[in-house]
Amino acid sequence: METPSKIGRYRIESWLASGAMGDVYRGHDPIINRPVAIKVLRRDLVRGGDFKSWLERFRREAHAAGRRFHPNIVTILDFGEEGGAPFLAMEYIEGRSLDTLLKEAGRLSLERGVSIVLQILEALRFAHTDGIVHRDIKPSNVMVLDSGDVKVADFGVAHIDSSELTVIGDVLGTPAYMAPEQLWGAPIDHRTDLFAAGVVLFEAITGVKPFRGKSVTEIISYMQTRGPEDVLVHVPTAPPVLKDVISRALAFDPVQRYPTAAEFSRALIEARAADISSGPAGKPPEKPVLTATAAPAPPSSVRSAADVSEGPPPSAELLAQLERSLTRIIGPLARIVLQRELKSSSSLAQIQLRLATYIDGDVEREEFLRSSMGHPAATQEISSISARTGAQQDGPGQSAAAILSPELLRQVEVSLTRSIGPIARVLVRRELSKSTSAADFFTELANCIPDERDRMAFLNMRPMG
């Protein structure tokens, strides 16, 4: 395929992608001196001979789309025609498509997958309020920036009705993400987009699609008779409520789906909170138990984390293995504490040593450290540090333990358990052993509470003075 040197006033630098609607190029705007993405639509897709009338309507709709700005939607900058084919100039996104991320990683963590879909739903909420149905929500139309922000592409062609287009060797819309009413050509509305967002959510966190069949007919049959696959089979650590959220989003009958993107988002946020506040496999929190005396000193191998020399940062694959290993011991909070400790740890061994402080049982803790995810260098580093510092004793937490009364400590654990589950007991003991003041003790524990109102209520328990 030959890449044009120029489209409209834009200098073309490279080809980016091709799809059913046309080709996308990276270009440069010489007037404003900025990179742009140019999407050239295929002229042969337009049915019939009234191309000028269609082009004029599309021009109006492209200009209307360019007047709508939302942080989760790729902005339309310009419209034109080149060689008889219309094109759109859009903001150029420094990032990768969700499709590319999934091909590289297989699947995303539950937290990251939910975060991406929440941003997709925010874009849909904005568009649906304006009467726009996207019609083609899929991973390749979702751009993920390096910052983690998400932008949905192709809203500039959302108003093009498929009845006005003819398909030549392509499918406008990808069957795996299309709602049943869209697959058989029935009228669609905003709930069609919400169905597609549900499919994207399922694939992002499991690595597979919720309806897998050998033909469109078989896929529709599964949609109607079986429903989506069980997300808990693919992600056992997910909260059970997430299965209900996905089942409703992917309901065969549009009436049974979420009526708005806002309600879908609300349900997904509640499910994400359940992922943190419940114990392993969604079990209710255990009854808290807390010894009112000073917390025991952590094992020598754990205390020596600060002594680990810096090494190369662990790969994403090793971090994923580490998260899975810790999740089996402390539950879904493993993801939260891993992200927290990554900010202050450099090498794989140092991260493991810090994470081991969250494990209450001696046997489980030592096994966690010994396994070292099969990484020989980290194993050797841990053994060396443990032998070198095993006799060291430090107990900076005595100050906090002396200040806080046994009754207040019991209240602290009860409150924290309500927010994050049974791991609260371990965190309380951990922070009690290392905090030098009541303020530090409460602040560190509050950072583990995801809900802002719960966090503020917890901080209000701090003793005055």
Give the C-alpha distances (Å, rounded to integers) separating 313 from 148, 219, 309, 343.
Answer: 20, 43, 12, 12
The proportion of the chain whose per-residue pLDDT surpasses 90, expressed as a percent, equals 25
Please report whether residue 184 resides in a domain. yes
C-alpha to C-alpha distance for 257 and 131, rounded to whole angstroms = 18
- Same domain for 335 and 357: yes
Provide the residue range defining the domain that includes 310: 300-389
CB 27 within 8 A of CB 89: yes
Domain contains 293: no
When mean pLDDT is compared across 51-60, 130-139, 353-362, 373-382, the lowest value belongs to 373-382
Tell me if 191 is assigned to some domain. Answer: yes
**Last residue within a domain, chosen from 359, 389, 419:** 389
Indicate whether 414 pLDDT > 50.
Answer: yes
Whether 296 shows a pLDDT value over 50: the answer reads no
Residue 204 sits in the same domain as residue 76: no
Pairing state between β 85-91 and 76-82: antiparallel
- Residue 151 and residue 60 in one domain: no
Q: Is the pLDDT of residue 306 over 50?
A: no
- 286 lies in some domain: no
Q: Determine, yes or no, domain membership for 118.
A: yes
Interval 32-50 mean pLDDT: 74
Q: Is 464 within a domain?
A: no
Same domain, 255 and 323: no
- 130 with 24, same domain: the answer is no
Q: Are residues 356 and 441 located together in one domain of the fold? A: no
Assigned domain for 267 exists: yes
353 and 252 in a common domain: no
Which of 389, 406, 421 finishes a domain?
Answer: 389
**Any domain includes 417:** yes
Task: Report whether pLDDT(426) > 90.
Answer: no
Residue 295 has pLDDT above 70, yes or no: no
Choosing from 29, 62, 91, the residue where a domain stops is 91
CA dihedral 144, 97, 172, 124 (to 10 degrees): -10
Of how many residues is the chain composed?
A: 465
Q: Whole-model pTM?
A: 0.57
Task: Calculate the dihedral angle through the C-alpha atoms of 78, 79, 81, 86, rounding to the nearest 10 degrees.
Answer: 130
- Same-domain status, 223 and 132: yes
Catalytic residue IDs: 136
Percentage of residues of the chain with pLDDT beyond 70: 68
* CATH number for the domain harbouring residue 132: 1.10.510.10
Picking from 16-20, 34-38, 326-330, which range would have the lowest pLDDT averaged per residue?
Answer: 326-330
Do 226 and 112 share a structural domain? yes
Considering the domain architecture, whether residues 17 and 58 belong to the same structural domain is answered as: yes
Mark whether 247 and 136 lie in a shared domain: yes
Taken in order 412, 418, 422, 426, is the CA torsion positive or negative?
negative
pLDDT of residue 253: 93
What CATH number is attached to the domain comprising 77?
A: 3.30.200.20
What mean pLDDT comes out for the span 379-400? 44
- What does the alpha-carbon distance between residue 396 and residue 441 come to, in Å, rounded to a whole number? 12
Average pLDDT over residues 372-395: 44
Q: Mean pLDDT across the chain, nearest whole number?
A: 75
pLDDT score at 304: 44
Overall domain count for the chain? 4
CA distances, 346 to each of 175, 308, 311, 320, 350 (Å): 44, 9, 6, 16, 7
What is residue 388's predicted lDDT score, i.e. its pLDDT? 43
Residue pLDDT, tens place only, 224-256: 888 999 999 999 889 999 999 999 999 999 999
Tens of pLDDT, residue by residue over 317-365, are: 777 777 777 776 766 567 777 777 777 666 676 777 777 777 766 666 7
Residue 266, judged by CB atoms within 10 A of its CB (0-12, 13-18, 19+), counts as middle
Q: Are residues 199 and 123 in the same domain?
A: yes
Compare 115 and 346 and report the one with higher pLDDT.
115
Higher pLDDT, 349 or 158: 349
- Position with higher pLDDT, 325 vs 29: 29
Residue 361 class from Cβ within 10 Å (0-12 exposed, 13-18 middle, 19+ buried)? Answer: exposed
